[in-house]
Structure 1
Amino acid sequence: MSVKPRRPLLNPYEKSMIQFLETCVDNNYKVSPQVSLFQICQQVSNLDCELRKFLFSPSAVDALITDLNYNPCLVVEFQSQYHDSPEAKERDRKKATLLEFAKVPLICSRVKDCSLLYLSSQDEQVVWNLYTGQNRENAQALIRQYCQESVAPQL
């Protein structure tokens, strides 16, 4: 039996998104890919059986932005056509529910029409044209806004 390292750890879309997220935040934040949901959310009271099982499963988020003390500020999920199946939608719903309980904001990203990146939160959506660069600043501002809101109460 043998084992070898998985290379690369991220696919090209994930790598591009991590690099983009790093341009959105300053040195007061850290961007980490593939973080276990269990590392972000801590059960403090009884959860529905299905949510509890999901929390302790190997489920991970695509990107977590933390402050310098590693307090979660924002989760970004990179979605593709694989998230369209009923099973994937159910996993995404459970993940969103747990993050909402933990009060960690969630933004989903998805490329549509080959060159449009949609960043969607529960309250708003920004569309960034990857080909022309139009609205890149708005996409960056959305990420920054959620990070700053997340740390504001702790100051």
Structure 2
Amino acid sequence: MSIKSKRLINSYEERMLEFLQTCIDENYKIHTQVSLCQFCEQDSNLDIELRKFLFSSSVDALITNSDYKPCLVVEFQSSYHDYSEARERARKKATLLSLAAVPLLYSRVKDFGLLHLYSQSEEIVCNLFTGNRRENAQALIRKYCEQSISSDVRVTA
């Protein structure tokens, strides 16, 4: 039996992380593959399914401020996320992040390099090849990073 190391992220995730890095300054940090229970703390009784999910799931990218307080989660979407099981996991994750008051954006590249950044209430599309509307996408990320958040992130039900 042998075990070998493997790459932490795939090439799509790498491109997204490179893009996110252009959106933030030195006052923020990007963390990858962070377990939800590392930055969300259960404060009261949660549904058993959500509790299990809290301790068994991670986020693609977590942006924190310089004090390591969560500012924004970015989930990288692909066609895999169109399946019902993946949509159910995304729903649970969105529920927990909403309870913890941590903003969530989804990113998905479609149609030959068009980056869609979206939440339940807004969407920005930019062209990764031409740079068209890139500043709008960067402004959206910065908006979430600059918003103040509570000092204690807790999941409440």
TM bin, normalised by shorter chain, reads over 0.9
Paired residue for 1:52? 51
Which whole-Å CA distance do the structure 2 matches of 1:29 and 1:131 have between them? 26
- Retained in 1: the 8 A contact 2:35–2:55? no
What runs of 5+ residues in structure 2 fail to find an aligned partner?
A: 152-157
Query: How many residues are paired up?
Result: 151
Distance in 2 between residues matched to 1:25 and 1:47, nearest whole Å: 33
Distance 2:45 2:145 in 1: 28
| Structure 2 CA distance for aligned equivalents of residues 126 and 117 of structure 1 | 8
TM-score by length of 1: 0.93
> Equivalents in 1 of 2:28, 2:80: separation in Å?
30
Counting only pairs closer than 5 Å after superposition, residues 1-155 of structure 1 correspond to structure 2 as 1-6=1-6, 8-57=7-56, 59-151=57-149
Q: TM-score, normalised by structure 2?
A: 0.92
- Deviating 4+ runs (over 2 angstroms): none
State how far apart, in whole Å, the 2-side matches of 1:150 and 1:98 are: 19
- Deviation at residue 114 of structure 1 after TM alignment: 2.0
Greater relative CO, 1 or 2 (CA 8 Å, sep 6+): 2
- Give the drift of 1:4: 1.3
Distance 1:132 1:34 in 2: 29
Superimposed CA distance per residue, residues 101-149 of structure 1 (whole angstroms, 9 cap, x where no aligned partner)? 0000000000111211100022210001122210100000000000101
Q: How well do the aligned residues superpose, as a CA RMSD in angstroms?
A: 1.2
> Are 1:74 and 1:150, in contact at CA under 8 Å, matched by a contact in 2?
no
Letter of the aligned partner of 1:67 in structure 2?
Answer: N
